[in-house]
């Protein structure tokens, strides 16, 4: 067996096992055309000899890298971590790997990250855009022929496949629940017009108040991106108005977690002194005390579907554009109750 420092090739492995290079190549790719015993033996010897798959050479031969690029603005939010896990699971099941780039909410960083991902020649990309993105930000990817799928956030004016949740309907469910409990002063925490999810969720809030002839009071709408810190700041701000709310709908679960901490800073408890509803139903939502009432957006299914959409788009680049909106559900736990006053 070779013990030098030269690169181990398919030919070296084939010579060692007295088989053809085609057999070695098929075996290393797990092809069913090779008998299982031979396949396992080839894979074992390749590992022992230190063989490393030459992805660049393979991509030149096949015009495919089997890499799916993923561009996210945030992975510290468990919502996006859950999306990413689902994407990776589906990609792996289809023999693909993922290459991740993140850019916070920075348009400049997004442009740099997406350009870098493009240099790795992914077969396609799934994108959740930074706040304030315009269609022009993705022109260079489209011009390069990179298949794209938008996930969760949608850029109006881009004729691309999209997978997301019906965000407007999710907030309608939340506000209707609070109104049914008797709340008439309902705040909205982490409102943002720079992202489609923010616009749609806020539109659901405004529309539901209007249908019930309840006024929209800007004093109890806190504008910011959906983070724990902004949830804490937001709840403090709306509690300080002259006529404070008795409940709040939060843009996402992270905002709600921050708001729950903010309530405790005031000696108040969610579900007893004040009602809170989150959005997303991340795994952590059920583990808080009290457990968070929230809107379930089915992000695992969103992640799986976005990867499936991309794989189909790669195979059928001229197919009609597809758009999937998943229907959200209200998950009742322990952070909502009738108002105390």
Give tens-digit pLDDT for 21-65.
889 888 887 888 889 999 999 989 988 887 766 655 555 445 678
How large a percentage of the chain has pLDDT more than 70? 94
Domains 66-165+299-326 and 167-297 share a fold: yes
What's the whole-number mean pLDDT along residues 193-212?
Answer: 98
What's the whole-number mean pLDDT along residues 322-328?
Answer: 98
Per-domain residue ranges of the chain: 10-53, 66-165+299-326, 167-297
Q: What is the pLDDT of residue 27?
A: 87
pTM of the entire structure?
Answer: 0.83
Q: For the segment 62-79, what is each residue's pLDDT rounded down to a tens digit?
A: 567 899 999 999 888 999
What's the whole-number mean pLDDT along residues 223-245?
Answer: 98
Fold category of 167-297 in CATH: Rossmann fold (3.40.50)
Q: For the segment 184-201, what is each residue's pLDDT rounded down to a tens digit?
A: 999 999 999 999 999 999
* Cα radius of gyration (the chain): 25
Q: Which CATH entry fits the domain spanning 66-165+299-326: 3.10.20.600, 2.60.40.10, 3.40.50.2300, 3.20.20.80?
A: 3.40.50.2300
Q: What is the pLDDT of residue 261?
A: 98
Hey, which residues does 99 pair with through a beta bridge? 69
Dist. CA 252–CA 235, nearest whole Å = 14
What's the whole-number mean pLDDT along residues 169-186?
Answer: 98
């Amino acid at each position: 067996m070779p013990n030098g420092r030269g690169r181990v090739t398919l030919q070296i492995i084939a010579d060692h096992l007295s088989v053809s290079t085609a057999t070695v190549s098929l075996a290393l790719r797990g092809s069913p055309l090779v008998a299982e015993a031979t396949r396992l033996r080839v894979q074992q010897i390749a590992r022992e000899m230190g063989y490393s798959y030459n992805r660049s050479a393979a991509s030149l031969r096949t015009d495919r890298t089997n890499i799916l690029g993923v561009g996210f603005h945030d992975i510290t939010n468990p919502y996006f971590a859950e999306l990413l896990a689902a994407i990776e699971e589906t990609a792996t099941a289809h023999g693909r790997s993922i290459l991740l780039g993140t850019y916070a909410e920075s348009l400049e960083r997004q442009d740099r990250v997406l350009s870098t991902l493009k240099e790795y020649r992914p077969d396609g990309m799934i994108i959740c855009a930074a706040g304030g993105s315009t269609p022009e930000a993705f022109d260079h990817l489209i011009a390069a022929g990179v298949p794209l799928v938008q996930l969760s956030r949608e850029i109006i004016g881009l004729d691309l496949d999209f997978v997301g949740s019906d965000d407007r309907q999710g907030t309608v469910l939340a506000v209707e629940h609070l109104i049914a409990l008797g709340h008439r002063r309902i705040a909205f925490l982490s409102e943002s017009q720079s992202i489609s999810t923010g616009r749609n969720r806020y539109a659901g809030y405004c529309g539901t108040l209007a249908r019930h002839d309840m006024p929209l009071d800007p004093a109890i709408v806190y504008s910011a991106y959906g983070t724990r810190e902004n949830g804490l700041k937001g709840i403090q701000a709306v509690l300080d108005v002259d006529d404070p709310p008795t409940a709040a709908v939060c843009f996402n679960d992270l905002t709600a977690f921050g708001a729950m901490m903010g309530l405790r800073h005031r000696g108040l408890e969610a579900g007893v002194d004040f009602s809170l509803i989150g959005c997303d139903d991340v795994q952590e939502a059920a583990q808080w005390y009290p457990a968070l009432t929230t809107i379930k957006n089915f992000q695992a299914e969103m992640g799986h579907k976005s990867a499936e959409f991309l794989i189909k788009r790669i195979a059928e680049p001229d197919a009609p554009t597809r758009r999937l909106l998943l229907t959200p559900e209200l998950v009742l736990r322990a952070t909502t109750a009738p108002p105390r006053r």
